[in-house]
Amino acid sequence: MLIDVAALPTDSLVGTRYRVVRLIGGGSSADVFEAAGPSGELFAIKVLRHELRDSQEAAARLLQEGRLLASLRHPNLVPLREMGMTRDGRPFLAMPRLAGETLRETRLRKGSLAPAFAASVVAGALDGLHAAHRQGVVHRDVKPGNIFLVAANAAPPRPAMLDFGIAKVSGAAALCTTQQEIILGTPRYLAPEQILGGRVDARTDVYAMGIVLFECIAARGPFDLLAGSDLLTLMRAHLGLAPRRLDDVADAPPALARVVARALEKKPARRYPTAAAFAAAIRGAVAPEAFSGAERRAS
């Protein structure tokens, strides 16, 4: 939903070289604006919300996201163009304004997606995640809304991972730590170890991406849950409910169903060890000609 910026009380990017065009999204701690740069080029600017400008933790998280994005270079990750501060001391991140839509928006328009197309999108997003994982970054909030399908004229859309705002960063890149044991992420995509406060690593993102792939093809999740289930019900499902087989609820190749089932194992040790291994298994389960054909039809 677009919001009329004229109705906003202040210029959210005052003191920067960007001019707000419109508000295009946001979350609990930051707003995302479409903004024009000095030469008229459009950017997506993620800036700390006004009411959180005195929150050191919220500011540190946004700065950490900017620092890690600056360290990552991959075609399946959205690049950072600039990191700075507004006049009133709120950090912001400037990224190119991409043409296209999120995977969530595609799903809302189309319902279920062809298995080959869904597989190509998820495999590409996994390539980006693997690049992040190699730098010690675990996303922790993998979901359709954080996968952007970049439009590319006659070429297939290119998936790019968005929003590393709650990523777990190890080593020198870590600027902040969580002060208390809280569950971070979106409940529908939480891996069991996230819920239990266990070790979070690449396999955590593999689990979430397995749910994303299942949903894209089946237009429903892998558990027999009603829409709008409460948090406790969702957590119990992740911890103890066996997921449905993808080929039991959708017209999907059995080989791809087996791949998804392994990604959704409760124990991390039984999943694919890396995002790259999961991507390779997906590509191996779908015929190459089906892959390319589905990409062309869906673009």
pLDDT at res. 174: 44
pLDDT at res. 117: 95
Q: Which residues are annotated as a binding site for ATP?
A: 46
* Judgement on whether residues 74 and 168 belong to the same structural domain of the protein: no
* Judgement on whether residues 91 and 78 belong to the same structural domain of the protein: yes
Sorted by sequence, the CB contacts under 8 Å of residue 234 that are 6+ apart come out as 187, 188, 190, 225
Q: Which residues are annotated as a binding site?
A: 46
Final residue of a structural domain among 67, 96, 125: 96
pLDDT in tens for each of the 299 residues of the chain? 444 444 444 577 988 999 999 998 877 789 999 999 999 999 999 999 999 989 999 999 899 889 888 888 899 999 899 999 999 999 999 999 999 999 999 999 999 999 999 999 999 999 999 999 999 999 999 999 999 999 977 778 999 999 887 788 764 444 444 444 456 678 899 999 999 999 999 999 999 999 999 999 999 999 876 666 788 888 899 999 999 999 999 999 999 999 999 999 999 999 999 999 999 999 999 976 555 544 444 44
If phi > 0 it is left, if psi is from -120 to 50 it is alpha, else beta; for residue 140 that is left
Tell me, yes or no, if 141 is annotated catalytic.
Answer: yes
Beta-bridge mates of residue 209 = none
If phi > 0 it is left, if psi is from -120 to 50 it is alpha, else beta; for residue 144 that is alpha
pLDDT at res. 289: 57
CATH of the domain at 224: 1.10.510.10
Final residue of a structural domain among 54, 71, 96: 96
Domain that holds residue 70: 5-96
Q: How many domains does the chain have?
A: 2
pLDDT at res. 268: 97
Out of 11, 54, 88, 141, which one is annotated catalytic?
A: 141
pLDDT at res. 154: 72
